[in-house]
Amino acid sequence: MSEEHSEHKHHEKKKFSLREFHDKHYKKLLMIPLVLLVLALLQIMVQTALTGDFMLKGVSLKGGITISIEKPIDINELNNYLNDKFPQSDIIVRSLSKGGEQFGAVIEASDVESDQLITAVEEKSGKLEDGEFTVEVMGGSLGESFFKETIRAVIIAFIFMGVVVFIYFRVPIPSLAVILCAFSDIMVTLAVANLIGIKMSTAGIAAFLMLIGYSVDTDILLSTRVLKRKDSSVFDAILNAAKTGLTMNLTTLAAIIVALIFAQSDILRQIMTILLIGLIADMINTWLQNAGILKWYVERKHKHD
C-alpha cells in the first residue's frame, strides 16, 4: 500500500513540471502540427503542379500490367533489360524476398502488351510455366475510373465520419478539432508518401480509410476524457488520455512494424507503410494539435462562463 503511494507521489512530481510546461506553451506546441499541415499542403500543391496528379499512381490506378514471378533473378539486370527493350513504357522491377532471401520479382509496366512483356521476362528468367507467375492486367480507363472511385469513397467516408462525430459530441469546436486532426493525418501522410515515392495502388488508398478509423479512435478518447471529466484539470484529463492513447498507438505500431518486416505481399507492405506514416502523423496531430485546441476551447469557455 505504502509502495503504491510513494510511486503515486513520484509520478505527481514528474507530472508537475510537465504540467507547467504544457500550461505555458501548449499554444506554441500547436504550431508544430499546423506547420506540418501547411508544408504537407504545399507539397501536394507542388506535386499537382508538376505531375498533374496529387499522388503517384501505380499501375492499378492508371492501367498497366503487374507480373509476379517466383524465381530468383537479378533485379537490376532485368530492370535495365526491360527498360532498354521497351523505352516508351514505364517499367519498375522490385524483388520479392522471404527472410532476407530473394525468391522472386514483381514487374510493373504501363503501355506494353502483356504477351510481349512476358516473353521479354522469360528471356532473362527462363521459361515460366503456368502457375509460376501471376499476371494482372488493368485497363487504362478502368484504372482511371478506379482512381476516381476510391478518391470519392475516401471523401464520402470522411464526410460520414465528420457527421457521426458531430452527432456524438454535439459541440462544434471539439468536433471540428477531431475532423481537422483526421484531415491533417491524411494530408501529412499523402505528402510523405509522395516524398518517398510510393506508387499508390487501390489498396494504398484503402489504407487511408483505415487511417481515418485509427485516427479517430484516439481523438474520440481524448475529447471524451476532456469534455466529460468531473473535477480534474484539463491537463490531467489529457495526460490520462495520452497514457491510454499512446499505449493504443504503441500496440498498433508494433503490429505494423512486425508486418513491415515480414510481409511478402507488396500490397500488404504498401498498406502497412501508409499506416506507419499515418500513425506517426496522428500521434503528433492528436496529442499536440487536438489536445491544444481542446485545452484552448475549455479555457476560453471557462473565462466566458
Q: CB of 82 within 8 A of CB of 120?
A: yes
> Which of 39, 48, 258, 299 forms a contact with another protein (CB under 8 A)?
258
d(CA 291, CA 296) in angstroms, rounded, equals 9
d(CA 10, CA 255) in angstroms, rounded, equals 32
CB of 141 vs another protein, minimal distance in Å: 7
* Interaction of residue 93 with another protein, rule CB under 8 A: no
* Interaction of residue 213 with another protein, rule CB under 8 A: yes
CB of 42 vs another protein, minimal distance in Å: 27
d(CA 126, CA 103) in angstroms, rounded, equals 15
CB of 205 vs another protein, minimal distance in Å: 9
d(CA 31, CA 252) in angstroms, rounded, equals 26
Q: CB of 63 within 8 A of CB of 142?
A: yes
| 120/205 with CB nearer another protein | 205
d(CA 125, CA 105) in angstroms, rounded, equals 10
* Interaction of residue 35 with another protein, rule CB under 8 A: no
> Which of 142, 173, 176, 284 forms a contact with another protein (CB under 8 A)?
142
Q: CB of 123 within 8 A of CB of 88?
A: no
| 30/283 with CB nearer another protein | 283
* Interaction of residue 134 with another protein, rule CB under 8 A: yes
> Which of 135, 171, 173, 176 forms a contact with another protein (CB under 8 A)?
135
Q: What is the grid cell recorded at 225?
A: 476524457
d(CA 257, CA 42) in angstroms, rounded, equals 29
CB of 87 vs another protein, minimal distance in Å: 25
10 Å Cβ neighbour count for 243? 10
Q: C-alpha angle 258/263/265, rounded to 5°?
A: 155
> Which of 130, 170, 302, 304 forms a contact with another protein (CB under 8 A)?
130
Provide the CA 2 distance to its chain's centre, in angstroms. 45
CB of 45 vs another protein, minimal distance in Å: 26
CA distances, 228 to each of 46, 178, 212, 219, 224 (Å): 42, 16, 23, 14, 6
CB of 61 vs another protein, minimal distance in Å: 10
Task: Please give the size of the binding site for another protein, defined by CB under 8 A.
Answer: 70
| 47/204 with CB nearer another protein | 204
CB of 243 vs another protein, minimal distance in Å: 7
CB of 301 vs another protein, minimal distance in Å: 20
* Interaction of residue 173 with another protein, rule CB under 8 A: no
* Interaction of residue 212 with another protein, rule CB under 8 A: yes
* Number of residues written out for the chain: 305
Q: E strands, 70-159, where? A: 91-98, 101-109, 133-138
- Residues at the contact surface with another protein, assessed by CB under 8 A: 68, 70, 98, 130-139, 141-142, 145-146, 148-150, 152-154, 156-158, 160-161, 163-165, 168, 202-203, 206-207, 209-210, 212-214, 216-218, 220-221, 224, 228-230, 232, 240, 243-244, 247-248, 250-252, 254-255, 258-259, 262-265, 267-268, 271
